[in-house]
Amino acid sequence: MARQLVSGRSSLPPADYLAETRALYDSLGYDSYRWAERADIVPLTPIAKPLSASKVMLIGSGGVYRRGQVAFHTKDDTSIRLIASDSPTEDLRTAHFAYDQTDARFDINCVFPLQHLRRLVDDGLVGSVTDVHCAFMGGIYSTRRLLTETLPHLLQQCEQQQPDIVLLVPV
C-alpha cells in the first residue's frame, strides 16, 4: 500500500515491517520460512565522529540494480550489485520477488535513497559518500548461503570503501 503524505508526514501509522513481511510470505505460500536469527546480538557501534565529517555507504536489500547490469532473478539469488555513487537515479531498477515494486519503480529512493544521501552531502549534513554502494535481493532463504556467499562480498566492499557509517536499507 502506498503511504499518502500529508504535510510531509505519512497519514498512516508506522509500518510493522516484521508483521507485514510475515503476512506477505504467508500469502505467497512460504509459511515454512525460517527467519535467520542470532543468539549473540552484535551491539551497535557508536559513531566516532560527527555525521558532517563522516563517509557513508549505502547497502540495500531491495533488489536494486543499474541499467545494463543483470537483474536479480530467483528468490535465492545471493549476488550483489555495485552501484556507483554518481549513478543517475533514472538508471536504477528493481527486481525482487517478495514485495510490490510499484513505489520503488516510481521513486527508487524509497528502497535505495542514493539521491537523498547525495543531497545530505550537498547540504553539509553528511561529509561524503563512498564511491560504490551495494545492493542485493533480500529474501534469501538459505541462511548458510547468505552467510557464505552474500555477506563476504558485502564485507569486502566495506573494507575497500572504508565507510565511517553503513546505512542499511532493508526491504
Q: Is residue 54 part of a domain?
A: yes
**Average pLDDT estimate for 146-155:** 94
Q: Is residue 12 part of a domain?
A: no
Residue percentage of the chain with pLDDT more than 90: 59
Q: List Cβ neighbours of 90 (8 Å cut-off, separation of 6 or more).
A: none
The Cα 87–Cα 132 span in angstroms is: 9
The confidence score (pLDDT) of residue 2 equals 47
Task: Tell which wins on pLDDT, 10 or 124.
Answer: 124
The Cα 55–Cα 118 span in angstroms is: 11
Q: Is residue 70 part of a domain?
A: yes
Q: Is residue 23 part of a domain?
A: no
Q: Is residue 50 part of a domain?
A: yes
Q: Is residue 63 part of a domain?
A: yes
Q: Is residue 148 part of a domain?
A: yes
Q: List Cβ neighbours of 130 (8 Å cut-off, separation of 6 or more).
A: 55, 56, 57, 58, 85, 161, 162, 163
Lowest mean pLDDT of 37-46, 67-76, 98-107, 126-135, name the range: 37-46
Give 139's pLDDT tier (boundaries 50, 70, 90): confident
Q: Where are the alpha helices (DSSP H) in 4-150?
A: 17-27, 102-106, 114-122, 143-145
Instruction: Work out how many domains the chain is built from and give that number.
Output: 1
Task: Tell which wins on pLDDT, 91 or 31.
Answer: 91
The angle subtended at Cα 116 by Cα 101 and Cα 18, nearest 5°, is 45
Give 16's pLDDT tier (boundaries 50, 70, 90): confident
Q: Is residue 121 part of a domain?
A: yes
The per-residue pLDDT for range 36-69, each reduced to its tens digit, is 666 777 777 888 899 999 999 999 999 999 999 9
Q: Is 158 helix (H, G, I), strand (E, B) or coil?
A: helix
**Average pLDDT estimate for 108-134:** 97
Domain range for 115 is 43-169
